[in-house]
Amino acid sequence: MIRQGRRARIVDSRGKPCGFGIFYNVNANSGTFGILTSAGNASTSSASYDTSTFVFAGLISTTPFTSAEIFSNSGGAGTASYNIPEIALKKSGDIAE
C-alpha cells in the first residue's frame, strides 16, 4: 500500500514509452489519483469507480518520456492511500490509435 502523500517513480529502461496507464485500488471518495510525466499529466477522482473498487488514470503522448511519478492527494484528509495491482508501459508502436 502506498500511503497518502507518498509518491512512487517508475522508470522504463527498455526504451522511452509514450503511454502509461494505472488502475488504483481505492476507497470511494478518498481523493485524487494520478500520473506526472515530462510529456503530460493525468489524474482521476475517486467519486465513482471505473470498475469494481478501481479508478483509472492514463495518458498517451506523442512525446516519449523516461519516467512517470504516481501520486495521490486527499486535500489533507489522509484518506488517499492506494494499492497498484498492475502497471502498463507502452511504446508508440504498441499503442492503438
What is the number of structural domains in the chain? Answer: 1
Q: Report residue 2's pLDDT band, with 50, 70 and 90 as the boundaries.
A: low
**Mean pLDDT estimate for the chain:** 77
What are 46's three cell numbers?
A: 475517486
How buried is 84 (Cβ within 10 angstroms: 0-12 exposed, 13-18 middle, 19+ buried)?
middle
In this structure, is residue 24 part of a structural domain?
yes
Domain that holds residue 68: 8-91
In this structure, is residue 16 part of a structural domain?
yes
In this structure, is residue 2 part of a structural domain?
no
pTM, whole model, 2 decimals? 0.73
What is the CA 82 to chain-centroid distance, rounded?
11
- Grid cell 529502461 in the structure block, residue: 13
